[in-house]
Amino acid sequence: MILSDADILRRLEEGDLVVEPLDDPDIQIQPASVDLRLGREFLEFQHANIPCIHPTSEREVDEYVEETVVDEDGEFILHPGDFVLGTTHERVEIPDDLIAHVEGRSSLGRLAIVVHATAGLCDPGYKGQITLELSNLGTAPVALTPGMRISQLTFTELKTPADRPYGEERGSKYQDQSGPQASKIQGDREFGGDQ
């Protein structure tokens, strides 16, 4: 079952679902979703410095990215063909009986901006800001401003709560993240890590 605005409000009031800061619920809570705003931090891949990213390499992926922090009244220009990691302004906490789906907003989709490549899911138990995989599939640069509504979350209720939710017990790599996080694929068990 997908949560409606009434369900979302009830879960927020009960406190088991957290979206903070939720500064303008009348605007941000849609009929079946919550709009999330763009944060100020971005990670850009440095094209000239990357020979090839390989999960078994001794070099960490975050060695190939450079952080940009935009002033509150500034903007980040996303050029055609660019891919950057951004972050939501809001921090979320997903209870053990919900899955949150990260979706783009149609107004930005009509400008050819997508907010995730494949990571469109927040597992039960996830806590933290959400890293956005921002791409410009169009032919014109688009200005992104901190605080603009950039994405939306929809929530699906599980038949039963997760037995092993995302988090410390599982060794989840991105729990409690703040700001955009580069890939930690080298921590995956199949590449010699423990997760």
Annotated binding site: 105-110, 123, 131-133, 152, 166, 173, 177
Q: For this structure, is 133 an active site residue?
A: yes
Annotated binding site for dCTP: 105-110, 123, 131-133, 152, 166, 173, 177
Q: Is the preceding peptide bond at 124 cis, omega within 30 degrees of 0?
A: no
Question: Which of 60, 93, 103, 133 does the annotation list as catalytic?
Answer: 133
Q: State how far the Cα of 167 lies from the Cα of 172, in Å rounded to an integer.
A: 5
Radius of gyration of the chain (CA): 17
Q: State how far the Cα of 175 lies from the Cα of 178, in Å rounded to an integer.
A: 9
Assigned token pair, 31: 């009929």
Positions of E strands within 18-173:
18-20, 29-30, 33-37, 41-45, 65-69, 76-78, 83-93, 98-104, 113-114, 121-122, 127-136, 142-144, 149-157
Q: What share of the chain is helix, strand, coil (3-state, %, to 5)?
A: 15, 35, 45
Residue in this structure with the two tokens 């149609």, named with its chain if needed: 106
Q: State how far the Cα of 114 lies from the Cα of 104, in Å rounded to an integer.
A: 6
Q: Confirm if 99 and 149 have CB atoms less than 8 A apart.
A: no
Catalytic residues: 133
